[in-house]
Chain A
Amino acid sequence: MTRRAAALVALVVIGIAGAVAWTALGPSEKVVVVYVSEDEVFSEPILEDFERERGIRVKAVYDTEETKSAGVTNRLIAERRSPQADVYWANEPIRAEVLRQKGVSAPYRSPSAEGIADQFRDPQGNWTGFSARARMLIVAKGAAGNPTSIQAYTEPRFQGKAVIADPRFGTTTAHIAALFTVWGDERGKAFLSAMRRNDVHVASSNGESADQVAAGAFQFALVDSDDVSSRQKQGRPVEGIYPDQGEQDVGCFIVPNAVLLVKDGPHPEPGKKLIDYLLSVQTEKKLAYSDAAQIPLHPGVDTPPAVRRLETLKVMHVDYATVAAKMEGIQPLLKDWVGH
């Protein structure tokens, strides 16, 4: 028995050594390593298309809701002295901006970025935005008196009937921070206080908020557009409303994907090819027609009827670098808000 146990241990050691050797000595040409914060269910088909069309193998690391989609960002920061990734596909520009500030990114101006508005690009070319989500209100389909503005969170008629994802994390933090940059701190704080008084519930994530509205537990929630479209694809009785589209309104907060080249990554040339591919009109069209239903940032890209074109939306104008800085500044406030 003990000999068998020793043989088993030896087998395990050999297995581990084999795995190490196979990974370390495997073919390194025509490979690109990409870390991805965009949901795997949307990003994997695009990366598979790239593999097939360009003949470059993609090795991906995806993120999870468990880490609030910050797992790969932390991994990139932790690895910055000896980078293992070539490209980072962020699901929002704030993380890309944070990585620029921490010296993780390298400038690269992709020819495919031609036509994307300056608002969605880092001026030095450290990151470039593409295919955007919109922050939308998810509501029960066909219900009377549905809200049309995020101000609905403070209206007495929705007291105790609205839910929002934990504002300390993800795109909800970015949205609140964007409101602070547009409205100013005083109005931002007043908005948060009014939400608290109106008994707004807090969910752990946008997905959970959307599920709770779909399950009838709440009347509306502020979520990302892909949360709405995925619930609609699942046959749930919900619809999405682009908020604040009136003339005097603040507009809809747009959250583009962002892609960056990792500084000193092991495969820079395949990395640049992947960035060119992700920023192409073809990829934006695929993401618009996919379940992600994302809004193309290139002008004139064909979209399905359910996806509004950027030029037809009233967009909240923000500087994403300023929003990134504001996000850190308002964290104590948000922590206090959630704590109460």
Chain B
Amino acid sequence: MQRRLTLLFVILVLGVVCLLPLAAMLGQSIFVDGRLTLTVYERLFADPRPYWTPIGHSLTLALVTAAGVTLVGVPLGVLLGKTDLPLRRALAVLLAIPLLLPPYISAVCWFDLLASGGLLARVIPAGAMESLSGCLFGLPGCLWVLIGAFMPVGMILTLVHLRAVNPRLEEAARLFARWPAVLRHVTLPLILPGILFGTILVFLLAMGEVGVPMYFRYPVFPVETLTQFSAFYDFGAASAAASPLLAITLLVLILERRCLRDKTYRLQPTTPPRKLLLIPLGRWRTPALLGVALFATATVVLPLVALAVSSVSPCAYGEAWSRAAASLGRSLVLAAAGATLLTVIGFFCGYLIHHRALRVWGAVDTLTLLLFTLPGAVIGVGLIALWNRPSTAFLYTSAAMVILAYVAQYTALTSRITVATLANIPRSFEEAAQVTGAPWLARVRDVVVPAALPGLVGAWLIGFLFCLRDLGASMLVYPAGQDTLPVRIFTLMANGAPSLVSALCVILVAATLISLAILGSLFRVTAARR
């Protein structure tokens, strides 16, 4: 009963925060002048031929980006989380930095580096520079930037899920096989839900990406929604224009459920996890370190150097601080609050989905993923339609709207990380506690949460990073005079001095790293006391 009531309450919260704004927006696409009609869809898709090319481009971009991120992020996660590679913590932090910056800013950094008058022009011959900057426009540039920007998603999720693997299974396998075989047949299958989720996540993120493809002149389908908003101010058509993206998300979900997810349940561990087993690299330590360092230099350090060089000016940091210190403070507080709320709601949703505790588990999973796919502007307008009323003005005109926007857009992240984490916790844990007569909430508090803690910390971290960089939905609902740092960076990008914008980006990266370092220390101290 306790379990049912709690989960129903969470579903109610999700319904209010997530489903109603979505319904408000979809309602505008099917109700015209108070009548139920599909004219908006008919008008938009009467001649579907012009859409095939951009949809094809979006699919290509999303598929190759997702594949690239998985192929690069998973081995990196294994190297940094499962081996005795030197400097692995520092490298993990360095390689996670691209996630802090909106991909559009990365695109601008790369253009600054590779343009004919760019930074690299001083060290690379003109002919080679011309080829490089030529490659930047079109699909190759989009892929380079997006794989670099989303690679940390694959890497962090792999790191998080590796920590949840029961080492006893690996120890048993080690009796019969060498590490490569153990990784292939035990470790990686155990973290397959996490890897798969990372791939899907990146696929959806790349599908919805507009800024980078527009910058590199690669026509993609989500521009259609942007056009309906910015050229026609037609909310119904903008929502309708997002429907192909929603259909693709549904297709991905069906494929995932049918083909892959059930396979992972066969490998559930049955004993409690202990200390993480590390793979000794032996004579491969130095080459592996060099390889990772080279990769980090090419994908992370170079654009960061471009940012840092561009920010060097006598007063850029002073001006950046005076203009954006308040926005930075708000961003950190709101992202922390958003991540905490996302982790709590995501945990219960993940529990519901993993245990299929109520019949609506599939609907909850689908709803959160659909919202993740929707353009932020669509969610933002939905939230306005729902909450901007005299009776709820106290909420609408407050910073709580930004947090509601985070929850609406990003619950899929934390709920799916929870699902993958719970898949590695033996059901017998909770069953044993149940036998002792412990009520459900006590079982969750004393058994499930402690066992899932590494995954929940990872969920909080991912939620924090996504909230911190959010622009789409928060842009439309932040209270007047209370913007967040990404919003401020983007508003200043229009004709602002490049040194100022670069300094703001450097401040955003530095502040995030310092906050995470403080939180990491607190967590380690708490864990050591336990």
Contacts and interface: CB of A to CB of B under 8 A. Distances in A.
Given A1-B450, A8-B340, A65-B494, A173 B231 contact: yes
A331 B231 contact: yes
Interface residues of A, number: 79
B336 to A, nearest CB: 8
A2 B230 contact: no
B398 A66 contact: no
B50 interface: yes
Nearest first, the 6 closest Cβ-Cβ pairs linking A and B are A59-B481, A70-B230, A59-B480, A64-B490, A24-B394, A204-B214
A202 B384 contact: no
Interface string A209-220: 001101111000
Contacts of A77: 233, 235
Q: Which applies to chain B's interface (DSSP): helix, strand, loop or mixed?
A: helix
Given A12-B341, A339-B50, A20 B526 contact: no
A34 B481 CA distance: 9
Interface centre among A1, A44, A81 (most CB of B within 10 A): A1
Interface in B356-410: 377, 380-381, 384-385, 388-390, 393-400, 403
A234 interface: yes
Interface residues of B, number: 74
Interface in A41-67: 41-42, 44, 58-67
Interface string B196-231: 000000000000000100110101000000110111
Nearest to A202: B217
Interface string A81-104: 110110000000000001000100
A166 B231 contact: no
A39 interface: yes
A197 interface: no
A173 B233 CA distance: 14
Nearest to B402: A19
A329 to B, nearest CB: 11
Interface string A29-42: 00001110001111
A74 B377 contact: yes
Contacts of A249: none
16 contacts: A5-B449, A12-B337, A19-B399, A20-B395, A41-B492, A41-B495, A41-B497, A59-B481, A60-B481, A65-B490, A78-B388, A203-B217, A234-B498, A292-B495, A331-B227, A335-B227
B478 interface: yes
Interface in B464-489: 471-472, 475-476, 478-483, 487-488
Contacts of B176: none
Interface of B: 50, 53, 104, 111, 115-118, 133, 211, 214-215, 217, 219, 226-227, 229-233, 235, 323, 333, 336-337, 340-341, 344, 377, 380-381, 384-385, 388-390, 393-400, 403, 445-446, 449-450, 453, 471-472, 475-476, 478-483, 487-488, 490-498, 526, 530
Q: Which applies to chain A's interface (DSSP): helix, strand, loop or mixed?
A: helix
Contact of B116 (A1, A215, A233, A336): A215
B498 to A, nearest CB: 7
Interface of A: 1-2, 4-5, 8-9, 12, 15-16, 19-20, 22-24, 33-35, 39-42, 44, 58-71, 73-75, 77-79, 81-82, 84-85, 98, 102, 166, 168-170, 173, 201-204, 207-208, 211-212, 214-217, 226-227, 230, 233-234, 291-292, 327-328, 331, 335-336, 338-339
A331 B231 CA distance: 8
A73 B476 CA distance: 10
Nearest to A6: B445
